[in-house]
Structure 1
């Protein structure tokens, strides 16, 4: 299945260029631009908080490479890739794209750094026990969002990010949590991240 996606891609060995080529060849040029933007933002945030800037940028480039699979195919794709599918993901397949991107980063782009892979794999929901790199990618994706206009949560996120990536991440998760009745699903990883970060952020 993954070989079909790469058959006509003239890979160069330069990861940034190859991700752009891969997404463009698979009819996702807008996603290619978004991934580069998130990589840039992740590097900026990483430098501010003394995280690994190269790893953060790489994770940003890779985070949405699963956009090549439309929503209605994602559950079948996840199962073929032997990814665990949670009930919430089956109900709202968009959210499993983070796990598929992680698998594709490993299997197509030969990423072996587990910190990068794990950050890609939780960039939409975050997770309990999130690392600094997880949090950097999470907030970078929310700052460099792929919709038009200004994100409704952005001012609070940026204000909180002045303290730490954990504070920035919590600002966004709290924004969702306050509106959880309107969400299609509440992913268990998001709930766990909310509960954990709330305890940490409120005492700092």
Structure 2
């Protein structure tokens, strides 16, 4: 385990159950709001897993862990990524928040012992999605957007919920289209997002 990660676990004895481990981990590092969001996303993931035939336990696990890299503030994410030998893309250098999905996947693997490639993949693309996404990629991507953690109701929510009557890809496309329409205002556009737009045929 990398020393940066082992330092985060000092004096912590994390239980195996993510519903107990993540609140303990995030609480110890002063992130109760992120913990509440992770709990909401995990619950949404479980609901969507049961609805769409994706393992609900793996779905909930991905929801609990998707934002655990919040323990590293945005100002530290570039240096942490360098220390962990993560390749940094230009968009991530421009807007380090975009690193948090891959940093969370790394933490899930090293700090929480997650080895399931489907879970790690879903966490690593939960903000941007990716081309040809797996079912769990789609599920976590959608759950994260449905479990809105800001004041008010997001403008895409009703359309996403309606699209779920069709499929997870249809719901994901609603949010991807929302980002496409806002693309000029995004602080940076990740190449995975561009590839997801192309894969889903998102255009005006």
Please indicate the TM-score interval, normalised by the length of the shorter structure: over 0.9
* Pairing 1:26–2:29 present: yes
Determine whether 1:82 maps to 2:85: yes
Matches within 5 A, 1:8-157: 8-157=11-160
For the pair 1:188 / 2:191, whether they are aligned, the reply is yes
TM-score by length of 2: 0.94
Please report the RMSD computed on the Cα atoms of aligned residues, expressed in angstroms: 1.1
Q: Which residue of 2 aligns with 1:162?
A: 165
- Partner of 2:187, secondary structure, is coil
Separation in structure 1 between the aligned mates of residue 15 and residue 58 of structure 2, nearest angstrom: 20
Deviations, residues 27-52 of structure 1 (Å, cap 9, x unaligned): 00111111111000011111111111
Helix, strand or coil for the counterpart of 1:162?
A: coil
- CA shift, 1:12, in A, is 2.6
Secondary structure at the aligned position of 1:142 is classed as helix
The TM-score with structure 1 as length reference comes to 0.94
Q: Deviations over 1:31-90 (max 9, x none)?
A: 111111100001111111111111110000000000001001001111211212100000
Q: Contact 1:8 / 1:25 at 8 angstroms: preserved in 2? A: no
Distance 1:152 1:68 in 2: 29
C-alpha separation in 2, matches of 1:31 and 1:147 = 11
> Which sections of structure 2, spanning at least 5 residues, go unmatched?
none
Q: CA deviation at 1:162?
A: 1.4
Distance 1:48 1:112 in 2: 25
Aligned residues: 199
Q: CA deviation at 1:14?
A: 2.3
